[in-house]
Amino acid sequence: MPALAAFVREAGSVVALTGAGISVPSGIPDFRSPQTGVWADVDPMEVAHIDAWRRDPERFWSFYGARFEILDGKRPNGAHLALAVLEARGRLDAVVTQNIDRLHRVAGTRRLIEVHGTIDTSSCLTCGGRYPLAEVRSRLERDRVPCCDCGAPLKPDVVLFGESLPFGAMEEAGALAAGADVLLCVGTSLEVWPVAGLAERTADAGGTVAIVTQGPTPFDDVAAVKLTGDVVDELEALVAAL
């Protein structure tokens, strides 16, 4: 931790990149852990691909309805709050997240780039209508497929398999990563591209990559710091050290 604190203290620009691991202490399962991960008992290509939504919206929403239930009532944990504190103190420029759970926003992060979208809203790809989460859940409770007022099935505003990441969000994330003196990667395996390439952008530009996550990543040899403890403990210790 002293090494990470020193890098952050001396940096002109620090950007955080977060993945599913930061939300596990809030009671949200990650994706790949055996037995407990979201994909442990289901093929994501069968239930979370854009073609699955088009082909069988009822099966798709059966899966996503369960995801909404998992996320219901979840609160930010100490790691989310620590990043918000670092931003409020001027130590962190932005958070780039792969998560769709809204917890960074609830924690108070102001500059948040959600490169995989958010469950906050769902949209109609036929007429462009957009509905907040509470309304989507209400319609899902009444029908097996939440539909727009025009009658077309809604799609959650998250990036599904088979879809491109939002261009604007990735452009902003790439610029932040390239300009960062420190890219703080928290709770991410750095295996999902193109987001994993943000670490490469920082390293290629001469910045420092710091990783706080359990388990190996493809960028461990590039990282100047690798911490494998509990993400809440590590980030709260970082805040205390600064």
Which residues have CB under 8 Å from 165's CB, separation 6+?
Answer: 115, 116, 159, 194, 195
Enter the tokens of residue 97: 């997240």
Do residues 81 and 237 lie in contact, with contact meaning Cβ atoms separated by under 8 Å? no
DSSP collapsed to 3 states, the chain: CHHHHHHHHHCCCEEEEECHHHCHHHCCCCCCCCCCCCCCCCCHHHHCEHHHHHHCHHHHHHHHHHHHHHHCCCCCCHHHHHHHHHHHCCCCCEEEECCCCCHHHHHCCCCEEECCEEEEEEEECCCCCEEEHHHHHHHHHHCCCCECCCCCEEEEEECCECCCCCHHHHHHHHHHHHHCCEEEEECCCCCCCCCCHHHHHHHHCCCEEEEECCCCCCCCCCCCEEECCCHHHHHHHHHHHC
Confirm whether 49 is a catalytic residue. no
Which residue is catalytic, options 49, 80, 104, 116?
116
Enter the tokens of residue 187: 């709770």
CA gap 107, 32 in Å, rounded: 25
Catalytic residues: 116
